[in-house]
Amino acid sequence: MPHTMRALVAAEVGEPADVLRLESRPVPEPGAGQALIRVTATPIHASDLHVLRGRYGFFPVFPTVGGHMECVGHVEALGPETEGLEIGERVVAVAVPAVPGPPVIGTWQEYLVADAHRLLPVPDDLSDSSACQLAVNPLTALLLVTRELDVQPGEWLLQTAAGSTVGRLVIQLARHLGIPTINVVRRRAAVDEIKALGGDEVICTEDEDLARRVAEIAGPDGVRKATDCVAGPVGAQVSQALSPGGEVVVYGALSTHRQTDPAALTIPLQARSVIYEAKTVRGFWLNRWFGSASPPEVLRALSEVCTLVADGVLTIPPGRPFPLDGFAEAVAFAEEPAHGAKPLFVFDGART
């Protein structure tokens, strides 16, 4: 094992392409209950970039290694009193920082140290490209549908950003569970694609009124369960489409990305809907869930996700690999509209 490694480090807050630098750092040593992981693949999430811009829900200590969500690799060494793992074992490392919780772990480096309870063995037939994306988006989809909203078979689920990674996974999971979905997209070109994926109904905000179409599909009372990843006026329309006593869980705010328009930075609600119809609008943040869930609960949910992926219920499309020294191109690709494949940093030995 080498004594030094490459790491992608941001010295300060700023635009990722401007502040990231490739550095040589000492390989860390695992402590009690920890393992040293040789990373083979790690994704570039939009949230990773917003952390570096200082626009996310937590603020790391700078300089910081980029990538604060997930990766896949092999156990290289074990710290004292670390049980349940073997040298050479292939694992997913969940680096999502718990809120509240300890300092963040950067995944954009060749080696990292992680607590044993944040490591999940992965099946041999699962590629590194898929495995390194197990812990964030599929887990979010599972928690939204089965824990946060507890949607029952036959019950309508309304979701915005249906063409996003989480949105597509929600469609697959809902279809498996017998839950019909109403899927909101912003481009007419996406409608047929979402239907082909298994979406039962699709609403395009480009030329359709969301609340009116929901009433036509689900009835004049609307729907009881919804998820929103857009916020802004679209999020407000979702709240209008709720039936009395209905609830919407907001887990993202795509309309606020790079926006200065005040309308995009809020979810305007009708007071009478909240008061007289007892509608609920609440948030979900995976980082806070990690801060409140027990380690056994976390591992159960991750194992459930792993089984769903291994059984083909949830499909994770192959990512687009980039070398660590190609970070400028990788970041630019991640920012392209409708870029498709998830950009990944891959290292020696990756099985993509």
Rounded to whole angstroms, how far apart are CA atoms 195 and 185? 11
Q: Does residue 62 lie in a domain region? A: yes
How much is the pLDDT for 144?
Answer: 98
Banded model confidence at residue 255, pLDDT cuts 50, 70, 90: low
Quick one: pLDDT at residue 274? 82
Q: Which of 278, 160, 144, 249 is nearest to 210 (CA)?
A: 160
**What pLDDT score was predicted for residue 265?**
64
**pLDDT for 11-53, tens place per residue?**
999 999 999 999 999 999 999 999 999 999 999 999 999 999 9
Using pLDDT thresholds of 50, 70 and 90, give the confidence band for residue 89.
very high
Residue 109, amino acid: Q
Helix spans in the chain (H) = 16-19, 46-53, 128-131, 137-142, 165-177, 191-197, 210-218, 232-240, 271-276, 286-292, 295-310, 327-335
pLDDT of the residue at 10: 97
Kindly provide the residue ranges of all beta strands, DSSP E only, lying in the chain, ordered along the sequence. 4-10, 20-26, 34-43, 64-65, 70-78, 90-94, 111-115, 119-121, 157-159, 181-185, 201-204, 223-228, 242-250, 280-283, 320-322, 343-346
In a domain, 352, yes or no: no
Sign of the CA dihedral with 87 first, then 89, 95, and 99 last: negative
pLDDT in tens, 187-217: 999 999 999 999 999 999 999 999 999 999 9
Query: Higher pLDDT residue, 282 or 265?
Result: 282
Residue 264 φ/ψ, nearest 5 degrees: -80, -15
Is a pLDDT exceeding 70 seen at residue 352? no
pTM for this predicted structure: 0.92
Judge whether residue 258 has pLDDT over 80. no
Residue 24 sits in the same domain as residue 103: yes
Counting the structural domains of the chain, the total is: 2
In this structure, the number of other CB atoms found within 10 A of the CB of residue 276 comes to 10
Q: Residue 12: give the domain boundaries.
A: 4-134+287-346
Q: Give the CATH number of the domain where residue 292 resides.
A: 3.90.180.10
